[in-house]
Structure 1
Amino acid sequence: MNKEMIINASDDGVEIALLEDKKLVELHYEHNNSAFAVGDLYLGKVKKLMPGLNAAFVDVGFEKDAFLHYTDLSPYIKSLLKFTQQSIKSQDPNGFDFGKFQNEQEILKTGKITDVLNQKPEIVVQILKEPISSKGPRLSCELSFPGRFVVLTPFNNFVSVSRKIHSGEERKRLQKIVESIKPKNFGVIVRTAAEGKNTAELHADLMDLAEQWRSIQLNLKDAKPPKRIMSEQAKTTSILRDLLNESFQRIVVNEKGILQETKEYISRIAPEKEEIVQLYQNGQGIFDFYGVTRQVKAAFGKTVNMGSGAYLIIEHTEALHVIDVNSGTRGPDGNQEESALKTNLEAAEEIARQLRLRDIGGIIIIDFIDMKLPDNKKKLFEAMSEFMTGDRARHTILPISKFGLMQITRQRLRPEIKITTSEVCPSCKGTGKIGPSLLITDELEKDFHYLINQGHRKLKLHAHPMLIAYIKDKGFWRSLQWKWYRKHNVWLELYTDNNYQLTEYYFFDKKTDEVIKL
């Protein structure tokens, strides 16, 4: 699979698009001065204990207190509280030796919040979920620091290896290496990306993470809550950390500062891939040049069209997301059951992409086109599971129910991405809205192609003068009209009509001069 990352830097922040085989699958925004991002560490102050919820509310500087449940405290919470106080009061400018730190007794999994945080102490917490809607951040005290090959966890000494590494010999090799090089008082989780890596690479990754922990210790000195102690690394490098592999073909950046940061990061974690980073200097917007803008406009509306003519309707409620699959007026050929299966499989692939692209989380209900055969329902379930294997968010998929519905739960860490795809209509001066005009030529060509397949070889197109002018733009030999002729071997005659709206058009049969119903 060909993977590309397109990074668009602007005054407001950074936009990152991840393309797989030229298709947009993930879109990330990193706003300047953004706070309370997942992974950020804060020194907070416990404000209120809620025994009924077995939880506490912690002031981390957000307008609403953040939520910390007992199950997110970590078995080593007493050690963390002790470490926090020692770091705040430490007089040593270089900090104390964490390797000699004496851990406290672990807490019970079934304990009470009041037994642990009764004194309402100052506490180091990590953002588990960003603020969503009217809710403040959700916190965790199970601190973890992900690197390229390992994840570091303080206050314990265990070593575990990812279950996705299937070779027993490789798991034992990695376990032995990490146990011999890890710092004292740290646990290590070996990631799948560590497979085949040597001792030097693993050691360098571990030392980088241990240095992060030392920075936290120094930042806590004389700190007063609420205060941000450490920020998760820039989203650009965090995505590279999680995704960079041999299938990445290109990373394109339009800003020299981010270009240098990205090159430095890649040279550290994968020197052989440094040449894939390129600086974009074309006058056209980087997202426009690589087709990201067009794909965003096509993918983020309430209605999502697919190549076969079928489409999805995506609705959001307070409790869940609902996705309805419709065959449209141009379903695939064949009998009804085969047509339903083919459309459902196409929809499943697009839905998996939409969940990643919009970062939809929580409960998702999908109403596929009804199928009668159990084998077809099984095929659809297996296909959906396969399409979602590339999704980094934790998710669970249930087989199709007797009502023909598929239920999915997906991890929600950040607010869902919402982009308005409608545009103010120039014809009505903003009193109404139309579909995105950026996509009108795509829709027009799709209809043209469909009519040709239906046997229409002599066609006329009547449309608004601006649309006709756009189709004829760039001269005869480079116009869309000529491009469509070369592609479909059918010449489309063009006629203007000032009575049409900007995006309104009709096809006519040249022989009968009657409009063709689509």
Structure 2
Amino acid sequence: MSKDLIINKTVNEWRAVLMENGEILDFLMERVKADSNPHPRLGNIYRGKVLRVLPGMQSAFVDIGYEKAAFLYVDDAYLPTLDEQREMAKKAEEIRKEKKERSLVIPDELATLSEEVDMRMRPETATIESFLKEGDEIIVQVAKEPISTKGPRVTRHVTIPGRYVVYMPFIEHTGVSRRIENEEERDRLKEMLETIRPEGKGVIARTVAEGSSYKTLKTDYDMLTKIWKEVQKKSEKEKAPALCYEDLTFIQRVLRDITDEDVDNIIIDDKDGVKEVEKFATKYLPQIKGKAKFFDETNPIFEKFGVGIEIERGLSNKVYLRSGGSLNIDQTEALVSIDVNTGKFVGRKNLEETILRTNLEAVKEIAYQLRLRNCGGIIIIDFIDMEKIENRETVYNTLVEALKKDRSKTKVLPISELGLVEMTRKRTRDTLTRIMCEPCPYCEGNGIVKTVHTVCYEIVRELKKKIRNNPQQKKISIYAHPEVTASLCSEELDIIETIEEVFSVTLQIRSENSYHVEQYEIF
């Protein structure tokens, strides 16, 4: 089957999926609002104002014009000198030779890179309070979009991605994406990049640069340097907080970040979108020129390709496997937990084989759901316990292999004695559920409410307390949810009658349809 890019537009909403063999490889969505306080997108560059410097956390909060202050960590805030960069590069090379590589990932989610660069160029003496103070105006770039209750995370290590290369104005470095595995090609690209970049600047070849000519890379690099000069000019004119550079349009970012050259079809249900794809492809992606097609059918485009059903599965806590087993996926602030169950699958031979087959089927679905939901941070997978060590190794190796399709960086630990897998997945943007859903207004996101009987007994305890504190009151009114009042007047009526008799009071129970099931008032 072919690899297709499906793009849907609904008034102010854009959605795009990259599909291969009917499976979603990547999903992006954006809702455009006429907002005076726009959402800070990944890659946007701002002139920000330092609001607070926190020496205890070695971080600062920066006003970039968003409702929540941006978080800036000390390593992302320090701009090393050229001498410091070269000294650290020399040390890093020595460490690599000894196979004791110690590196930090740059904010490569800005360009979906896989290159690792040592960014620990900050001397220990360079604490955040020594080079930043409240009121300073600095240029920062969004490295992580706002997620849930957290504001955006920003960095001063600006990176501007093009189609073939990424330009780094503050870090001297020449790199090649790790996805390019051929050593001869890596060396060829590095040699060309060394002649392209000037002293003190950095450049990284992206995966699509494989096989590219010197002219192609140079043209892309020159375009990025012009963009940076425009950013600098704008930042000098504007007063903080101000947006100095906005990343590409939705369609352009989709083509740049998730579209592979081996995409067979680009299907769009918007005529202007087709024109934009062709225009962008002509200038930057000649390999996909002519592949854009207008979708002009009665059925919605996502329904036609089965995307809607997959998104619904991605929003559910329970995902069923073809064998009859299932996954329970719970996303919290701290971590994502995934529980594997055999469900209706009983197997044919023995228990161990049934468990192995279920776990192996679950592995593929887990890797798929992590991509679809864009789960990030710590992920705990509770596989069904397997007695044989070789079976555990099979499941673990299958999981590692399945995660190779993932564009986000993952790290997986072997299955523990308890049958758990601990893994991390790089968080680049909000999850599918946080983008498309909101906490239940009734349970306020808890997922549970107190039972009617629990509320009844709370009322009884509160009643006794009020009667003892106000013995002169002989008439008391209880207002509660209809289900609660119904229980008090039927199943729990003996308790109400006992209270009236023992304390010589008259209780009036009244229903309030507008009350929450846990809400009640006693007068």
Partner of 1:16: 16
Matches of 1:297 and 1:28, distance apart in 2: 15
Structure-2 residue corresponding to 1:289: 304
Q: Cα deviations across residues 31-81 of structure 1 (Å, max 9, x unaligned)?
A: 1145211111111000111000011111111222111010112434899xx
Aligned to 1:125: 140
- State how far apart, in whole Å, the 2-side matches of 1:326 and 1:197 are: 48
Q: What amino acid sits opposite 1:10 in the alignment? A: T
Going from structure 1 to structure 2, the CA distance change for 1:171 and 1:26 (only over 3 Å counts) comes to closer
Amino acid at match of 1:392: R
Per the TM alignment, residue 269 of structure 1 is displaced from its structure 2 partner at its CA by 2.9
Cα distance between partner residues in 1 of 2:314 and 2:70 = 33
Matched residue of 2:344: which SS? Answer: coil
Residues of 1 paired with 2:199 and 2:296: CA distance? 48
Question: Structure 1: any 5+ residue segments left out of the alignment?
Answer: 80-105, 422-518
2: distance between equivalents of 1:2 and 1:10? 25
Deviations 1:61-115 (A, max 9, x none): 1222111010112434899xxxxxxxxxxxxxxxxxxxxxxxxxx8525521011
Contact persistence 2:270–2:294 (CA under 8 A): yes
Q: Partners in 2 of 1:231 and 1:346 — Cα distance?
A: 42
Instruction: Quote the residue 1:7 is aligned against.
Output: 7
What is the distance in 2 between the residues matched to 1:282 and 1:118?
58
**Is 1:70–2:74 an aligned residue pair?**
yes
CA distance in 2, matches of 1:269, 1:342: 45
Q: 1:384 aligns with which of 399, 404, 407?
A: 399
**Alignment check: 8 A CA contact 1:144 1:154 kept:** yes
> Aligned pair in 2 of structure 1 residues 28, 168: CA closer, same or farther (>3 Å)?
closer
- % identical equivalent positions: 36
Superposed CA offset, 1:441-489 (max 9, x none): xxxxxxxxxxxxxxxxxxxxxxxxxxxxxxxxxxxxxxxxxxxxxxxxx
In structure 1, what is the Cα distance between the partners aligned to 2:133 and 2:197? 34
Output aligned runs, 1:420-431, within 5 Å. none
The amino acid across from 2:341 in the alignment is: N
SS in 1 for 2:386: coil
Aligned to 2:27: 27
8 Å contact from structure 1 (residues 150, 205) kept in 2: yes
Could you tell me which amino acid in structure 1 is paired with residue 371 of structure 2?
R
Is 2:372 aligned against 1:357?
A: yes
Q: Please name the residue that 2:359 is paired with.
A: 344
Given candidates 213, 228, 251, the residue that maps to 2:243 is 228
Asked if the contact 1:46/1:57 (under 8 Å) is kept, the reply is: yes
Q: How does 1:70-469 map to 2 (within 5 A)?
A: 70-76=74-80, 107-108=122-123, 111-118=126-133, 120-183=135-198, 185-418=200-433, 419=436
Alignment of 1:494-505 (within 5 A): none
Helix, strand or coil at the partner of 1:330: coil
Give the Cα–Cα distance (whole angstroms) in 2 for the partners of residues 157 and 302 of structure 1.
46
1:306/1:154 CA distance change after superposition, 3 Å: same
Structure 2 letter corresponding to 1:30 = E
2:50–2:133 CA contact under 8 A, matched in 1: no
Equivalent residue number for residue 42 of structure 1: 46
Tell me, in whole angstroms, the C-alpha distance in 2 between the residues paired with 1:334 and 1:241: 49
Provide closer, same or farther for how the CA distance between residues 286 and 165 of structure 1 changes in structure 2, counting only shifts above 3 A.
closer
**Which secondary structure state, in structure 1, belongs to the residue aligned with residue 380 of structure 2?**
strand
* Structural RMSD (CA): 2.2
Cα distance in structure 2, aligned partners of 1:268 and 1:58: 36
Distance 1:109 1:236, change over 3 A: farther
Deviation at 1:208, TM superposition (A): 2.1
How far residue 18 of structure 1 moved from its aligned partner, in angstroms, is: 2.0
Post-superposition offset of 1:382: 0.8
Per-residue CA shift, 1:181-206, capped at 9, x if unaligned?
Answer: 23554211122322211112111221
Give the Cα–Cα distance (whole angstroms) in 2 for the partners of residues 12 and 201 of structure 1: 35
Q: Which moved more, 1:294-303 or 1:225-234?
A: 294-303
Whole-Å separation in 2 of the counterparts to 1:63 and 1:163: 37
Question: 1:347-391, CA deviations, whole angstroms, 9 ceiling, x for partnerless residues?
Answer: 111111111111111111111111111111111111111111121
Deviation (angstroms), 1:410: 1.0
Partner of 2:59: 55
Q: Which has the larger radius of gyration?
A: 2
Secondary structure of the residue that 1:248 maps to in structure 2? coil
Shift of 1:23: 1.8
Q: In structure 2, the residue corresponding to 1:401 is in which secondary structure? A: coil
4+ runs of 1 displaced by more than 4 Å? none
Contact 1:75 1:108 in 2 (8 A): no
Q: CA deviation at 1:124?
A: 0.7
Shift of 1:405: 0.5
CA distance in 1, matches of 2:269, 2:71: 39
Whole-angstrom CA distance in 1 between matches of 2:259 and 2:17 = 14
Output the CA distance in 1 between the equivalents of 2:151 and 2:351: 49
Q: Distance in 2 between matches of 1:237 and 1:185?
A: 29
Letter in structure 2 aligned against 1:67: F
When residues 196 and 319 of structure 1 are mapped into structure 2, their CA distance, relative to the original with a 3 A threshold, is same
Residue 20 of structure 1, CA deviation: 1.8
Per-residue deviation at 1:420? 6.0
Q: Do the aligned residues in 2 keep the contact of 1:312 with 1:323 (CA within 8 Å)?
A: yes
